[in-house]
A and B are shown apart, each in its own frame.
Chain A
Amino acid sequence: MASKAFQKIYTQLHAITKATVKLYAKGVTNDELATVDGRLAQVVKINRDLITLQIFGGTDGIPTNSEVIFLGEPPQINVSEDIAGRFFNAFGDPIDGGPVVEGETRYIGGPSVNPYRREQPSELIPTGIAGIDLNNTLVSGQKIPFFADPDQPYNQVMAQVALRADVDKIILGGMGLTNDDYLYYRNVFENAGALNKIISFVNTTEQPPVERLLIPDMALTAAEYFAVDKNEKVLVLLTDMTLYADALSIVSNRMDQIPSKDSMPGSLYSDLAKIYEKAVQLPDGGSITIIAVTTLSGGDITHAIPDNTGYITEGQLFLRTDSDTGKVIVDPFRSLSRLKQLVIGKKTREDHNHVMNAAVRLYADAANARTKLENGFDLSDYDERCLEYAIDYSNELLAIDVNIDITQMLDTAWELFAKHFTKTEVSIKEEITEKYWKDSNS
């Protein structure tokens, strides 16, 4: 983003805060970019000739006589097939040592899809993880976050989901990734030989936090290029949206806005919705599916960030370490995919819905049995069998290291039913039970 020949240069700053500067300038447009002492900045407020610029890199060391050049354009990105396989920073500049991408220039954060032109999502996205495919099936055009505590391996799970998902392009938007996690993703993608369908926009913790505000829009503008122009199925991974929201609150704080709940800006809902609602099933076959990570503090989902997210997204996935098996599982009780009904039993085997419900119900009975045990009440034979089943269920299906297709998941579930229960206890519609019941030999 070099300066052009006839641009006017300003050299007198009027005010400096930690994230913004003010100066007098004429003819400036809202949202346009500028450079301040070489650092990229964006117009966030205009009051006659007094312009407020938000400097993405922070204002450390900015002198009052900085050179300010207005670029006349909002943030943009070059899109073409060539961006596949590349790594970019928050400004869309390559960070993988490769050449600058030639292509069509697009403004990021573009308009929304007309709701009337959307299609109802109906294509299943298999991930191989039973906790997702069996219990909380993902559908193309869906938006869903992982709600996870910082100590849980959500980045690993995301990488796994990305590589197994049957999609044309995967776009990673990394916000506040540690350098280690960034290198982990890079390594995993390279080793899988899948680089040619992956595009990454990364802001690490080594870079200024305000920069990450650009990441989701960069990633989603690239996603729209592939989904709208090329009719491709695109999966967008956003991690970690909590750190994105934190950056929002930093900026709103510096601009003296009145904070609402949990010191988040009052516009948090709209800000998050603008990102998540980019998930779409388009009429011509293209789609954007968003899987995000929202880290929680001590599992608290009433905090403003997960709370607002829950109202926007189509369900949520919880990771939990199962104390019986020591494995990380997708929690079947608290996780929910709101769109699963659109594909379950329609795009999958007819017994899917029944098996899913029965398996979770029996797992709930196991949880009740455990409570009884903890409270010192006697366990019945049924309770004992439930507890045994729970261990098998989490080992063979819920654990995130399981990688099988949905038909195998259903067969596994039937095997577990037969191993631990009678047909009446499983209580699935008779004609289905007769067809799929696996006589157990053990």
Chain B
Amino acid sequence: MKTTGIVTGIISNLVTIEVDGPVSQNEICFIDLGGTKLMAEVIKVTGKEAFVQVYESTRGLRAGDKAEFYGHMLEVDLGPGILSSIYDGLQNNLKTMEGVFLTRGEYTAALDSEKKWEFTPIAKAGDQVIAADWLGEVKEGWLPHKIMVPFTFEGSYQVKSVAEAGEYTVEETIAVLINEAKEELNVTMKQKWPIKIPILNYKNKPRPFRVMETRVRVIDTFNPIAEGGTGFIPGPFGSGKTVLQHAISKQAEADVIIFAACGERANEVVEIFTEFPKLVDARSGRMLMERTSIICNTSNMPVAAREASVYTAMTIGEYYRSMGLKVLLLADSTSRWAQALREMSNRMEELPGADGFPMDLPAVISGFYARAGIVNLNNGETGSVTFIGTVSPAGGNLKEPVTESTKKVARCFFALSQNRADMKRYPAVDPVDSYSKYLEYPEIIEDLEKKIGKNWVDKIGVGKNIVLRGKEAYEQINILGDDGVPLEYHERFWKSELIDFVILQQDAFDSIDANSPMERQSYMYNLVLDICDKSFEFDGFEECGNFYKKLINILRQMNYTEFESTEFNKYLEQLNNEINNGK
């Protein structure tokens, strides 16, 4: 029998309900407001009172209204049709909602129950299977979407039958399994999973051992992220967090992109809706939207659903990982998620931690980042979820709880600097403060040197050092004046400018420069390092500056032209001439 309850208290979207039976933490209930059902989640229980956060506006609710508990946590539907969809934080399909405004209490199905999918069986009758084993496959866009034994199935099963190749809807039975108690269970292409629980149906989770190409130079060349790795991008407003994330989502070497727009501007999401359907994936030649799913809970949508949105995104990511795919999950911004936690904690009158955030914020953040990773599946394949979140630190100050908690768990730190943004040096990733812990992993070093070349990681160190020394020289020049320092300081400064302008800066709005594959990146980086290695003779700082400005200009033209094209080679020749003249 279902537990029911009566509303006893309301403060904004926190409602207390007196219950007549058992309830569990995070259980979902529906409150009846004059026929409209408002979805809510249990977040605390004291005696007979359950505290629930309502995912909708509570306007018009009164003490005495009835609630019904559903006996399960917040779940999402997993099955073909997730890609190219646009969901809210609770996985309601925003495309099928009627009207211009979001209607309270309107919930739409995540998967189209009528669409037919071309199914091909993988398993056959008699096979022994366990949860997450692949039973068959459908084509979702161009991706092989595996139909798996539901993750909730415990123990081992014998396959009694698998449907023949043909067209089926997500509601139709595609396999019958027999459990150890000899009961028959029907499996469809759709399954449910609670978003706050990680999907752990894999063999093991090794340390990340290969890099993931994003085609953003300041990441790939200077601070590479591993496949299955974690990273975060903190930065004050206006420093280009969103542009950087969009660039990564367009170009990264991933099969599936899940984009969680969590508490951010609606117009930015509209930009994705408008742009992505027009963009072609450089690797597959297919539309970018076909491999993308957007979870969109903008800042004006209910705050409790915002908290759910990142988990919804992560669960979908883990689902595709179980198919042996490379998933890239992006969340913009995790600070808004943390603020949603703060709002609820505040209403429950919990004792606050730093800046009013709940005490368990670091634990919640680290628990979330821990769900990313590369995994070995039971059938020997690998799949991965790589996670990059943005952080919007209050006042641009990185010493605040969300940034600090995230810094402890994320392995890559892409710090956006206000100073670089003011100078229009984009992406404004600070070359000195940012880091990638993966550069310390022997597995990653081996992978990089195998893919790019010997001593690559040492070369990264050399480049970083040039930038750092250039920065120091610049400070000296500023204090002592152009004439007040030895010429060598100017050379140092200009060498760092060379790396800055040619490698670190990248035009996200130029189709060629924005999309820089690793081969091209290493070519350009080696070219620049070779120049930095040379010594030139100058008659004073002005000549030095002019010389390097010329080189920078040619190298930037190279960045803007097709790699190894005639034009590219023409610039290369020009560059070599200049270098020879400089000697």
Contacts and interface: CB of A to CB of B under 8 A. Distances in A.
B240 to A, nearest CB: 11
B68 interface: no
Contacts of A312: 265, 299
Interface string A337-359: 00101000000000000000000
Contact of A269 (B103, B104, B299): B299
B481 interface: yes
Contacts of A120: 267, 270-271, 274
Contacts of B271: 120
Given A257-B346, A269-B339, A277-B299, A115 B62 contact: no
B523 interface: no
Interface stretch (A106-114, A125-133, A389-397): A106-114
Contacts of B152: none
B63 A46 contact: yes
A2 interface: no
B166 interface: no
A293 B263 CA distance: 22
B100 interface: yes
A4 interface: no
Given A44-B11, A269-B299, A273-B299, A114 B100 contact: yes
Interface in A37-66: 44-49
Interface in B79-128: 86, 94-95, 97, 99-104
Contacts of B300: 112, 273-274, 277-278
Q: How large is the interface on B (under 10, 10 to 19, 20 to 34, 35 or more residues)?
A: 35 or more
B101 A113 contact: yes
Contacts of A47: 8-9, 16, 63
A29 interface: yes
B265 to A, nearest CB: 7
Given A29-B62, A46-B9, A273-B300, A113 B57 contact: no
Contacts of A15: none
Contacts of B395: 261, 301-304, 307
B299 A270 contact: yes
Interface string A238-281: 00000000000000000011111100011101100110011010
A310 B63 CA distance: 38
Interface residues of A, number: 65
The SS class assigned to the A binding surface is: loop
Which of B273, B274, B300, B355: most chain A CB closer than 10 A? Answer: B300
A282 B10 contact: no
Contacts of A119: 270
A27 interface: yes
Interface in A210-253: 228
Contacts of A107: 59
Given A27-B64, A120-B274, A115 B339 contact: no
Contacts of B101: 110-114
B59 A118 contact: no
Nearest to B86: A116
A176 interface: no
A258 B352 contact: yes
Interface string B348-373: 01001001110000000000000000
A314 interface: yes
A336 interface: yes
Nearest to B62: A29
Interface string B57-80: 111111110000000000000000
B336 A45 contact: no
A303 B62 CA distance: 37
B490 interface: no
A240 B59 CA distance: 27
Given A114-B101, A118-B267, A273-B300, A310 B238 contact: yes
B446 interface: no
A113 B300 CA distance: 9
Contacts of B357: 260
A269 B61 CA distance: 24
20 contacts: A30-B58, A30-B61, A45-B9, A45-B10, A47-B8, A110-B101, A111-B103, A113-B100, A258-B356, A266-B343, A267-B12, A270-B263, A270-B339, A273-B263, A277-B266, A277-B300, A301-B395, A307-B395, A310-B236, A341-B509
Closest 8 CB pairs between A and B?
Answer: A302-B395, A273-B299, A260-B356, A277-B300, A310-B237, A116-B94, A31-B59, A46-B10
Interface of B: 8-12, 16, 57-64, 86, 94-95, 97, 99-104, 236-238, 263, 265-267, 269-271, 273-274, 296, 298-301, 303, 336, 339-340, 342-343, 346-347, 349, 352, 355-357, 392, 394-397, 422, 481-482, 509
Interface of A: 27-32, 44-49, 74, 107, 109-121, 141-142, 228, 256-261, 265-267, 269-270, 273-274, 277-278, 280, 282-283, 301-304, 307-308, 310-312, 314-315, 333, 336, 339, 341, 375, 377
